[in-house]
Amino acid sequence: MIYTHKHPALLIMGIIMLSLGVLADFSLMDSVIKYLHIQKYFGEIVSLSYFFGGIAVVVGLWHLFAEHKIGHLDYYLSSVAGATFILFIAMIVRWFIAPLVAVWSKSLGPIMGAKYLHEVLGLNYIVLGILTGIIVVNFFKVPAWAENGVRLSRLGLKTGVVLLGTLYSLAELQQLGSLSILMVGFFVLGSVGLVLWMASRRKISNSMGGVLSAGMGVCGVSATVAAAPVVQAKSVEIAYTIGTILLWGVGCMFLFPIVGNILDLGYVQFGAWAGTGILNSAQVAGAALAYQPDGIETLKVAEIFNITRVLVLPIIVVWLAVWYVKREEDAPDVNVAKVAFQKFPIFVLGFLLMFALSSTGIFSPAHHYKGKYFDNNIPAEKLLTADAVATLKTELDKVQVAAQKESLNRLIENKKVMSIEDDDNLRGLVNAKILSQKANHILKQAHKSVRHTAKKIKKFRQFITWLFAFGLVGLGMQITFASIKQAGGQPLVIGGVVGTLKAVLSLIVVLLFVRETI
């Protein structure tokens, strides 16, 4: 069988990509970039368009004009057309459609705390990418010339999952409070176990149960994507899980603040509850900000719980890998060690390897989280100026909260932020909008001076973003309406039951054990 199609599509996509690169590079689409607020993507629009456009043109010419024979060259190079098709859609979604949705959403104004509609609904490039893939396959059909390459999407996801390990570090886990570790550990492991148990009782496939357990237990899309290849989940099962999580999260974002207000929860209590009970990171932040729009204490606590939950991911991935192998072997006395050696997904070891490497600090200081870290060894030119110090001194009396006042005093005294705690207190002060615009600007600059992003981790994030975008658009292209119908409504029921149980039980634990300090 010859896989290469003599079709001009790849060449045309290549030319369009190159044109996009030229338009951006020579400032011919500045007005579009400005309107969509995509200045941050400028570098990748130029470099990725040139790089992949160039490849697409060269291989496209080969597809059209070369003689093709059965063999590896034909088989693998024919996949470039489909891979470029997916990538092209991912580019359009990430650079234009998702920002356009954000612009429209922002024009409506914030609806939850400081969060906009698209943030509440989770309409980012990931979700929009999957939706676009679903639309393509169901309304237009994947073209024959692209079919072979669409099968590369799972490779993209797996590679992204391995690199995901670079974003976390063991040191970060050690710094977290013991309460968050205990509470999150209990609820994450409990949710995963409960979903797996319910899935087996309701005769749902191991792959569906496995991927849903990771999504409901850990947090949203990353966990779902990481667990999917481990349990060999089908495209529709992954989409189902992501849909369940997002729907659940939207409901929680509105309900949690209402319940919190009725029960008169403290900021720490609400942050702990939201960080445990809501699944998606953005939605956790949304609920926390909705509960405390004029401060950062709730958000900070919710973030701590959220980070703890994400850091449990490596444990869950290994657990699911062993669980799945054992279940699929269908033998109660299976030799787990032997089977695990034979069938354990190698890329999971890669994820753990990257996590271990990241923990040693070779990519960024070891205490980083997702590449961000605190370091106040800054050059003299980044210290506060005499004028800035004078401005802050005149506004000192406006600050009523003792911790914030102490942090501000230390900032004035040392001309730089002295600790992570001080930085958090000063962020809270800015958020409270007590000081003048000028003073807030000074505080923001002081914050920026001591918060750093590791360049290597930033680059890893870019790779992960694109590998996930590529993988998920391709995944969307494998989801037909027929397959959604075939999956049935059981996963939604299980997700709803487990999510509700987790929210209610974690609220009880918070009410019983959480005080206003951690």
Query: Is 347 exposed, middle or buried (CB count within 10 Å of its CB: 0-12, 13-18, 19+)?
Result: buried
Which of 45, 48, 101, 162 touches another protein (CB under 8 A)? 162
Task: Write out the two tokens for 150.
Answer: 């669409």
One of 409, 453, 465, 483 touching another protein (CB under 8 A): 483
Q: Helix, strand, or coil here: 451?
A: strand
- Per-residue mark of binding to another protein, 371-410 (x: CB under 8 A): ----------------------------------------
Verify binding: residue 163, another protein, rule CB under 8 A.
yes
Q: Which tokens sit at 238? A: 């992954």
CA dist 283 and 9 (Å) reads 39
From residue 164 to residue 193, the character string flagging contacts with another protein as x (rule: CB under 8 A) and all else as - is --x---------------------------
Paired tokens of 184: 């999150």
Binding residue for another protein, selected from 218, 307, 318, 354, defined by CB under 8 A: 354
Cβ atoms of 129 and 89 within 8 Å: the answer is yes
Residue with Cβ nearer another protein (349 or 390): 349
Contact call for residue 139 and another protein (CB under 8 A): no
Binding another protein (rule: CB under 8 A), the pick from 141, 372, 448, 459 is 459
- Least distance (Å) from another protein to the CB of residue 324? 12
x/- letters, 208..247, toward another protein (CB under 8 A): ---------------------x--x-xxx-----------
Selected binder of another protein within 347, 369, 373, 468 (CB under 8 A): 347
Total residues binding another protein (CB under 8 A): 43
Buried/exposed 392-406: b ≥16 CB within 10 Å, e otherwise: beebeeebebeebbe
| Tokens 């929860």 belong to residue | 265
What is the distance between the alpha carbons of residues 392 and 388, in angstroms, rounded to a whole number? 6
Vertex 151 angle, CA 11 and 146, to 5°: 30
Selected from 350, 361, 365, 496, the binder of another protein by CB under 8 A is: 350
Selected from 63, 94, 158, 368, the binder of another protein by CB under 8 A is: 158
Q: How far is the CB of 222 from another protein (least distance, A)?
A: 16
Judged by CB, which is closer to another protein: 116, or 351? 351
What is the CA angle 83-84-85, rounded to 5? 90
Residue 124 CB, shortest distance to another protein, in Å, is 23
Which stretch in 60-68, 72-80, 365-373, 441-449 sits in contact with another protein by CB under 8 A? 72-80
For 290, list phi and psi in degrees, rounded to 5. Answer: -65, -35
Dihedral of CA 234/235/236/240: which sign? Answer: positive
* Residue of 463, 488, 508, 511 interacting with another protein (CB under 8 A): 463
- Which contacts qualify for 224-228: CB closer than 8 Å, 24 or more apart? 225/157, 225/160, 225/161, 225/468, 225/471, 225/472, 226/161, 226/164, 226/313, 226/317, 226/351, 227/316, 227/317, 227/320, 228/157
Residue 362 lies near another protein (rule: CB under 8 A): yes
Q: Which is nearer to another protein, 48 or 236 (CB)?
A: 236
Q: Which stretch binds another protein (CB under 8 A): 31-39, 151-159, 281-289, 390-398?
A: 151-159
70 touches 21 (CB < 8 A): no
Residues that bind another protein (CB under 8 A): 1, 3, 75-76, 79, 147-149, 151-152, 154-155, 158-159, 161-163, 166, 229, 232, 234-236, 343, 345-347, 349-350, 354, 357, 362-363, 455-456, 459-460, 463, 478, 480, 482-483, 486
